[in-house]
Structure 1
Amino acid sequence: FGEDDRAPHALRSLLEGGAEARPANARLYVTSNRRHIVPREMAEQDDPINPRDARDDRLALADRFGLSLGFHACDQAAYLAMVEAYAAHHGLAFDPADATGWATRRGGRSGRVAWQYVVELAGRAGRSLDD
């Protein structure tokens, strides 16, 4: 969002239901690929008298996101255990060296990378994971 952008205020109203009553049979799911939906640096504050007010206003949007999922790095043993569990659940065989190489080429080991590797395994085997 830009410095003078009003979109965060409009989005915050939508998330809170303040812009319009939400039907009982509707749910609103909002996601972001950004780790921090709004900048958190004090240097970006535009109110030199009370920078906390400006920061709190910007962070009010980020506070509407109740669930934050992280894809944290793990050690090799934990990564291979995740791959093994996913692969076993879907009836797929895997080579630990191949799984480790996959993680290295992707820049790290995490639950997300383990899942992506198993999706690749299924593709190689011509199998769908939707079963």
Structure 2
Amino acid sequence: MNNKWYCHVNLKPQGPFSLEEVRAKVHKGEVGPQDLICDETSTWKPAMEWGIFEFQLFPASQGFIQGTEIADNVREWVLLVEQAVGVKPLQEGPFTVSELRESLINGNVSPYQYVWKTGLSGWCQLKDRPEFSMVISSERLSDPSLA
């Protein structure tokens, strides 16, 4: 197994990291399932395509069971809201799934903002959570300036 790994962070390659360090970044939500990573011998590809990072390791997939009903009106989601450059983001909420979906539709919240709820090992972007994917258009994801 290769021991030098690289991750894209804010569109800039970072690393090298050990496999254990990358796994820790995945578990904390610093690397999402669609974030690009590579090892020293391969090309960049989404983290979930590597096959060595279990899907349950990603906060984006934790606590969600395909086919179960989503609790739309339970206040459990905390949203990170960016402030001025160099100022620590604020945590706002809790919000319901319905409130966050409405904010996404109205453009008040970006798909690239981070959310968390009890049971997740780390923060993840709204775009990566299945509860919100149906209201996020592919157009907004391909052009972050629309987010």
Bigger Rg, which one: 1
Q: Higher strand proportion, which one?
A: 2
Instruction: Assess same fold via TM > 0.5.
Output: no
TM-score by length of 1: 0.29
